[in-house]
Amino acid sequence: MSRSPAVPVAPGIWRIPTVGASFVNSYALLDDDGSVTLVDCGLRRAPARIVRGLAAIGRTPADVTRIVLTHAHPDHAGGAADLARRTGAPVAAHAADAPYVAAGRAPEQGDGRTVGRFLVRLTGTRFPAVEVGQPLADGDLLPVAGGLRVVHTPGHSPGHVSLLHEPTRVLITGDALFNVLGTRWPPALFCADFRMTRRTAHVLGELDYDVAAFTHGPQLTDRAREHVRAFLRRTR
């Protein structure tokens, strides 16, 4: 089965797969004026796929006016420097992760365990550094297609955020939750604090949304909030 370069999620929101059909995803949000906000930039090699995804929805890098990162990990921020150069768009990230984005390295992972830290080093923690022009904070409302709410969900990284697009009721979870072979927690060895990840995810059950869009895995469009709440209850 061929992979679509851009998958519609809701009016004006597209999922752009950068690894496989949905294993790693970026998102494009379109404003009425034709401008684009990119959410996450995949691995270092992802920009070419993101550009193809933009072309599939009739846009080019010149249309990108903002890049928002959910967190400072190589599979989300790896392509940010290249895309910032191609587009001229400023990069936004939570203030707690902004120093890591600017340094081109992930926060300490492995949940403090020696084996976990060793495995993380093997898989890589570095990515091309890029300046963060807009530090984000919990509750910020970005002027993106009618309003993109920043929801701080730390644990996977200190500044990890999820994003709620209020007009379309789409929640982009970032890595607070995966939807790979079913909804699940992110692997503990890739979390700065896995216990905090589990504690802060409760907010995802309290927000109002109809679609859950994951950066790892396909979106949920049928009773997504109820699905997430049931998962959180089961794993509490």
SS3 letters for 70-81?
CCCCHHHHCCHH
Element (H, E) at 15: strand 13-19
pLDDT band at 110 (very low <50, low <70, confident <90, very high): low
Per the rule left: phi > 0, alpha: psi between -120 and 50, beta: everything else, 223 is left
> Is pLDDT at 235 greater than 60 in this prediction?
yes
Whether the predicted pLDDT of 22 surpasses 60: yes
* Percentage of residues of the chain with pLDDT beyond 70: 93
Q: Residue 46: inside a domain, yes or no?
A: yes
In a domain, 151, yes or no: yes
In a domain, 130, yes or no: no
Q: Which of 216, 160, 149 is nearest to 187 (CA)?
A: 216
Domain containing 143: what range?
Answer: 7-123+137-234
The contacts of residue 206 (CB under 8 Å, 6+ apart) are none
Residue 197 lies in a domain: yes
Give yes or no for residue 111 having a pLDDT over 60.
no
Please report the pLDDT score of residue 236 as a whole number: 80
Confidence of residue 184 (pLDDT cuts 50, 70, 90): very high
Contacts of 50 (CB under 8 A, 6+ apart): 16, 18, 26, 38, 41, 42, 79, 83
Residue 83 lies in a domain: yes
Q: Which residues of 119-128 are buried (b: 16+ CB within 10 A; e: fewer)?
A: ebeeeebebe
pLDDT at 3: 77
pLDDT for 108 equals 87
Position 29 in a domain: yes
Burial class from Cβ neighbours inside 10 Å (0-12, 13-18, 19+) for residue 194 reads buried
Q: Assess if residue 128 is contained within a domain.
A: no
Domain assignment of residue 87, yes or no: yes
The first and second tokens of residue 42, run together, are: 């995949």
- Residue 153, domain CATH: 3.60.15.10
Domain count, the chain: 1
**Cβ atoms 195, 184 nearer than 8 A:** no
Span 171-195, average pLDDT = 96
